[in-house]
Amino acid sequence: MDNVTEKLLQCFGHRRFKSELQERAVRAIARGVHDVFVSMPTGSGKSLCFQLPAMLQENKVAVVFSPLLALIKDQVDHLTKLKIAAESINSKMTQKDRERVLNDLRSMKPNTRFLYVTPEQAATGTFKALMEHLVKYKKVSYVVVDEAHCVSEWGHDFRPDYLKLGNLREKFKSIPWVALTATASAEVTKDILANLKLLNPVAQYKTPSFRRNLYYDVVYQNCIQDEVGDLVEFLKKNLKDEVNVKPKDRSAAIVYCRTREQTEDIASMLTKRGLNCLAYHGGLKSSERVSVQDRWSNGEVPCVSATVSFGMGVDKASVRAVVHWGLPQNVAAYYQESGRAGRDGKPAFCRIYYCRSERNAVDFLLKSEIARSKTPEQKQRCKNAYKSFEIMVKYCEEVRCRHKTFADFFGEEVPQCITRCDACTDERAVRRALDQHTRRAMN
């Protein structure tokens, strides 16, 4: 047992690392030679990547930027439970509390090991003076930027105040920085490295996007006689269970739809054809939504037809099929939504039922949003949204490895797909279907 694994147990109560990647990130951050960028999915234990290394440095404090007071409270509470001194400076605290925190940080040997701040707080005079002091007396172990995608206009939670953090990086060159996020497209990653002004070379630890157990394909709605029949057949084929499976581990499916009406239509059509399906959308009462999610999660109903609001906080491992009835919003959303399939590592299937007329409708909508946008920033964001949508259209309208589109999007090497998508399995058949689709769409 070395120092690192010892601290893992002693401070955090974990016998082993959650993944090899987590361990590698921890060790790189602990070395403290490079700035480190960590991109791992939600729930994979990113906090530990900086918290453990910070615990290896006695009498130093890690300054952690986090976008929301609620997130900060969770982390501070979690650390406090572990008997690790974590504090925050924010606008909500009493003067007395603030003095207590500041006094400790200004003392010779501070007890505080983690100081959590919002980017807005970081811009205040109090914080700037404190930071100068801490750096001058070599009391900072790391500067950490959590939810680092907030510095990118490509991200979904852009926060202008996050941009200013880059100035701190320039000012205090001697301290290693750590940036972490769960959403790292190539564009977002580029923005994080550039806007936070991370010092080259940045050591990067990323979970690869390729999931070998997921098979991806696209079906063109105008090329089949009976779309709903095709959908039912596809779902039934994938929902076959072996005997003696516990209800909650039974096979399940999600059909994502664009509108509330569609979710209702699909639910009633599937149920009529012998496949029990419940609709889920924002128009339901919250008690109804909870009930639908529960009945699906515990294996009572195999299928849910839902708007994209369904899925957050869902961690059913035995999802065998995720269907998009129509075009997903963009590649990031599609990767995330389809990625709810096959969490147990067993084979699962992700399919889009594509429809050109719907594409045209969305195309029109996004273009008019660009035209209507008032500020340059808003315009840029709308343009970004349009570009992301275009990649999704290409995904559906090109004969090309589906996994490769994801890998490109995340800035990774080409995965060895071979048989894990329709384009790699039978390129000619996909080309034929696409040609037929295009001919019919033009008529």
> Which residues of this protein are in contact with Zn ion, per CB under 5 A?
401, 403, 417, 421, 424
Minimum Å distance from CB 335 to ligand ADP? 17
Residue 424 partner contact from Zn ion, Mg ion, ligand ADP, none using kind-dependent CB cut-offs of 5 to 8 Å = Zn ion
d(Cα 299, Cα 345) in Å, to the nearest integer? 19
Residue 359 partner contact from ligand ADP, Mg ion, Zn ion, none using kind-dependent CB cut-offs of 5 to 8 Å = none
Sheet with 114-117: list strands edge to edge: 86-88, 114-117, 61-65, 140-145, 177-181, 36-39, 203-206
Between 50 and 349, CB nearer to ligand ADP:
50
Residue nearest to ligand ADP (CB): 45
Hey, what are 443's tokens?
Answer: 């008529």
Query: What residues have CB less than 8 Å from 10, skipping those under 6 apart?
Result: none
Between 17 and 353, CB nearer to ligand ADP:
17
Residue 40 partner contact from ligand ADP, Mg ion, Zn ion, none using kind-dependent CB cut-offs of 5 to 8 Å = ligand ADP
Minimum Å distance from CB 273 to ligand ADP? 39
Residues found near ligand ADP in the complex (CB under 6 A): 14, 17-18, 40, 42-48
**Cβ 314 vs Cβ 340: under 8 Å:** yes
Residue 45 partner contact from ligand ADP, Mg ion, Zn ion, none using kind-dependent CB cut-offs of 5 to 8 Å = ligand ADP
d(Cα 277, Cα 187) in Å, to the nearest integer? 38
Minimum Å distance from CB 254 to ligand ADP? 22
Between 37 and 325, CB nearer to Mg ion:
37
Closest CA to 181 of 209, 213, 151, 147: 147
Q: Helix, strand or coil for residue 278?
A: strand
The residues in 14-73 that bind Mg ion, with binding defined as CB under 5 A, are 46
Minimum Å distance from CB 158 to ligand ADP? 19
Residue 30 partner contact from ligand ADP, Zn ion, Mg ion, none using kind-dependent CB cut-offs of 5 to 8 Å = none
Q: Which amino acid is it at 138? A: K
Hey, what are 23's tokens?
Answer: 């361990």
Hey, what are 268's tokens?
Answer: 């009633």
Helices 356-372 & 427-442, crossing angle to 10 degrees? 70
- Contact set with Mg ion (CB under 5 A): 46
